[in-house]
């Protein structure tokens, strides 16, 4: 199985059970995303967003 992604944009992709999921960046452009692993597989992505003043 193959997937095609656009390598010209800054993005985060998670592959789980053969399915590719794009994780969207914070709308403000500032924040962080943590990937939580459970049993050797990605369980979830936790996102926090910041606002630069």
| Domain extents in the chain | 12-49
pLDDT at res. 53:
86
pLDDT at res. 52:
82
pLDDT digits (tens, 9 = 90+) for 2-47: 889 999 999 999 999 999 999 998 888 899 999 999 999 999 999 9
* Residues whose CB falls within 8 Å of the CB of residue 32, separated by 6 or more in sequence, listed in order: 47, 48, 50
The pLDDT confidence band at residue 51, using thresholds 50, 70 and 90, is confident
CA 40 to chain centre: 17
pLDDT at res. 22:
93
pTM (two decimals): 0.74
């Amino acid at each position: 199985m193959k997937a095609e992604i656009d390598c010209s944009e800054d993005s985060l992709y998670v592959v789980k059970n053969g399915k590719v999921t794009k994780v969207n960046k914070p709308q403000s452009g500032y924040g962080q995303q943590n990937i939580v692993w459970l049993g050797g597989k990605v369980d979830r992505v936790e996102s926090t967003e910041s606002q630069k003043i």
